């Protein structure tokens, strides 16, 4: 027998002796009472020595947290209110022509934002695909002299079909005529359309004119700001007092933790993030549209600077409005541009003058940039002197300077200038011989 077994045996024997002594004392006390039968003595002994039963504690288990399978949260903003420095009412002043320009879709020409739906989704994943579910559908729209935000929150994944039905009814009732998103063409709208299809429904928003402002934002501001994330633009352009965004990768994790625990505090920052994205989207659309306004909107307090005008010129160029693009480019050059952007603006403007055979203005701009050793400008001058003026000496000089500027920076331009110089050398030699024979 090992030590542990011996110890258990000693404890058991001690407990038995203690209980025996207790019974013996109780019996002696009972024996002292006269006139009590043996049966009564035994019953009394059992009562005194019975080991009381331990009662189980009265524990009240907490009820599992209750959560609604689908919640619709509503908020609204009066038209006289602002988001950052941008008045909410500015969205209703944007013309269909400007919307058509920003979207590159002429379907917007007869529309305005009074019938538009601003859409932003929060989902269970970021990669898209059939397995990704939008658990929060954020919708912004103008109604009854307000900008309203409706958020459809899916508290139980099993209720997605109900969410789809509610959205279908909502879209039908409000009869939206267009959609506005930020990267919605690649993510939000295709994902929502997939969920409708899986539930044998047709998304009423499909086929509506769609302004995905991400593309316009990049044209307008990528040269001015380090990031064209919506959160960053809201801070830099709108001067909105937004708290730091939730990292995108954290949003699905928070939602799954909510499904596991029912702790709604996990969701509240996501609701805030989604609502702020809708307001930020409205704000940057208003700001982007204001760059193209021919009138100064005192209420807007938004003055387009030279960098904004350069972005507007780029966007106009991409939509084929070359004349208007040139006007904005000239206005940009009248303001303060960085040296790099100023060179790009002059190159684009000179290209416009070249297409319109306005040679004097084009040459003036190319010559302005030669001190900056811009190989492209030397090339344009060499082409002009060779083919327009047939001044081969000037063309050769421009090509030589261009070759020096291109060496070590552009292999293709080096080859171009080398071939050009060889050709010009033969032309100059032939012209000299022709003079000698006259």
DSSP secondary structure of 351-412: HHHHHTT-HHHHHHHHHHHGGGT-HHHHHHHHHHHHHTS--HHHHHHHHHHHHHHHTTT-HH
Is position 225 within any domain?
yes
Is position 109 within any domain?
yes
Are 244 and 210 within one domain? yes
- What is the pLDDT at residue 3? 47
Is position 22 within any domain?
yes
- The Cα 125–Cα 129 span in angstroms is 9
- What is the pLDDT at residue 327? 95
Tokens for 422? 């060889």
Are 200 and 239 within one domain? yes
**245: confidence class by pLDDT, cuts 50, 70, 90:** confident
- The Cα 113–Cα 141 span in angstroms is 8
Are 229 and 158 within one domain? yes
Mean pLDDT computed over 126-151: 92
Distances (CA, A) of 199 to 161, 176, 194, 195, 373: 7, 22, 9, 7, 62
Query: pLDDT digit string (tens) for 43-87?
Result: 665 665 555 555 544 545 455 456 689 999 999 999 999 999 999
Percent of the chain with pLDDT over 70: 82
Tokens for 148? 């309203």
Mean pLDDT computed over 26-52: 61
Low-confidence winner among 87-101, 177-191, 204-218, 284-298 (lowest mean pLDDT): 284-298
Are 8 and 139 within one domain? no
- What is the pLDDT at residue 36? 61
pLDDT at 151 over 50: yes
Helix extents (H) in 263-305? 268-291
Phi/psi of residue 109, each to 5°?
Answer: -55, -35
Are 22 and 89 within one domain? no
Residues 165-179: b if buried by 16+ CB within 10 A, e if exposed: eebbebbeeeebbbb
Range of the domain at 388: 341-437
- The Cα 318–Cα 325 span in angstroms is 9
Our count of domains for the chain comes to 3
Distances (CA, A) of 385 to 86, 361, 389, 392, 400: 51, 15, 5, 7, 13
Tokens for 279? 């307001």
pLDDT at 113 over 80: yes
Which residue from 136, 84, 132 is spatially nearest to 279, judged by alpha carbons?
84
Q: At which of 233, 261, 291 does a domain end?
A: 291
- Cβ(134)–Cβ(172) below 8 Å: no
Strand partners, 137: 121, 152
The answer for residues whose C-beta is within 8 angstroms of residue 375's C-beta and 6 or more apart is 402, 405, 406, 409, 410, 413, 417
Are 234 and 127 within one domain? yes
- What is the pLDDT at residue 241? 87
Is position 148 within any domain?
yes
Half-sphere exposure at residue 123, Cβ-oriented, CA atoms within 13 angstroms: 19
Q: 57 vs 409, which has greater pLDDT?
A: 409
Is position 313 within any domain?
no
* Euclidean distance between the first and the last CA atom of the chain, given in angstroms as a whole number: 134
Are 20 and 108 within one domain? no
Is position 329 within any domain?
no
Are 259 and 384 within one domain? no
Mean pLDDT computed over 176-198: 96
Are 182 and 233 within one domain? yes
Query: pLDDT digit string (tens) for 338-373?
Result: 999 999 999 999 999 999 999 999 999 999 998 888
Are 40 and 82 within one domain? no
303: exposed, middle or buried (Cβ count in 10 Å: 0-12, 13-18, 19+): exposed
Tokens for 128? 């898209």
Is position 359 within any domain?
yes
116-123 and 178-181: which strand pairing? parallel
- Cβ(38)–Cβ(105) below 8 Å: no
Each as own residue / partner, the long-range contacts of residues 251-257 (CB below 8 Å, 24 or more positions apart, any chain) are: 251/122, 251/123, 252/123, 252/124, 252/125, 252/126, 255/122, 255/124, 255/135, 256/124
Are 196 and 230 within one domain? yes
pLDDT at 38 over 80: no
pLDDT at 325 over 80: yes
- The Cα 86–Cα 240 span in angstroms is 9
Is position 258 within any domain?
yes
- What is the pLDDT at residue 61? 47
Instruction: Return the percent helix, strand and coil in the chain, to nearest 5.
Output: 60, 10, 30
**324: confidence class by pLDDT, cuts 50, 70, 90:** very high
Provide the whole-model pTM: 0.80
> CATH number, domain at 180?
3.30.420.10
> CATH number, domain at 375?
1.25.40.10
Are 200 and 269 within one domain? yes
């Amino acid at each position: 027998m090992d030590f542990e077994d011996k110890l258990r045996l000693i404890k058991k024997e001690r407990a038995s002796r203690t209980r025996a002594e207790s019974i013996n004392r109780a019996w002696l006390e009972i024996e002292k009472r006269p006139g009590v039968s043996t049966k009564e003595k035994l019953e009394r002994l059992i009562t005194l020595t019975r080991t009381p039963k331990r009662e189980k504690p009265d524990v009240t288990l907490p009820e599992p947290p209750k959560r609604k399978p689908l919640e619709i949260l509503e908020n609204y903003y009066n038209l006289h209110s602002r988001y950052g420095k941008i008045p909410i009412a500015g969205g209703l002043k944007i013309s269909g022509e400007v919307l058509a320009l920003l979207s590159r879709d002429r379907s917007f020409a007869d529309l305005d934002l009074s019938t538009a739906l601003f859409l932003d989704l929060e989902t269970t994943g970021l990669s898209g695909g059939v397995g990704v579910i939008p658990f929060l559908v954020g919708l912004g729209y103008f109604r009854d002299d307000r900008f309203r935000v409706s958020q459809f929150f899916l508290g139980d994944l099993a209720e997605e079909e109900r969410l789809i039905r509610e959205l279908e009814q909502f879209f039908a009732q409000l009869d939206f005529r267009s959609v506005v998103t930020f990267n919605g063409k690649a993510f939000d709208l295709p994902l929502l359309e997939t969920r409708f299809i899986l539930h044998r429904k047709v998304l009423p928003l499909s086929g509506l004119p769609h302004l995905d402002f991400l593309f316009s934002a990049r044209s307008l501001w990528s040269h001015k700001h380090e990031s064209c994330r919506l959160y960053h633009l809201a801070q830099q352009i709108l001067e909105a007092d937004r708290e730091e965004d939730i990292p995108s990768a954290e949003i699905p994790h928070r939602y799954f933790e909510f499904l596991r625990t029912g702790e709604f505090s996990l969701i509240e920052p996501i609701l805030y993030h989604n609502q702020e994205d809708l307001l930020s989207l409205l704000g940057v659309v208003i700001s982007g549209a204001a760059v193209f306004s021919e009138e100064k909107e005192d209420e807007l307090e938004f003055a387009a600077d030279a960098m904004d005008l350069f972005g507007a010129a780029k966007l106009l160029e991409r939509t084929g409005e070359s004349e208007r693009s040139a006007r904005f480019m000239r206005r940009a050059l009248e303001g303060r541009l960085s040296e790099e952007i100023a060179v790009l603006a002059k190159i684009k403007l000179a290209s416009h003058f070249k297409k319109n055979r306005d040679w004097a203005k084009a040459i003036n701009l190319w010559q302005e940039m030669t001190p900056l050793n811009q190989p492209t400008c030397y090339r344009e001058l060499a082409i002009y002197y060779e083919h327009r003026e047939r001044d081969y000496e000037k063309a050769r000089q421009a090509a030589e300077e261009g070759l020096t500027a291109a060496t070590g920076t552009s292999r293709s331009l080096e080859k171009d200038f080398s071939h050009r110089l060889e050709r010009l050398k033969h032309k100059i030699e032939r012209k000299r011989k022709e003079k000698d024979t006259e």
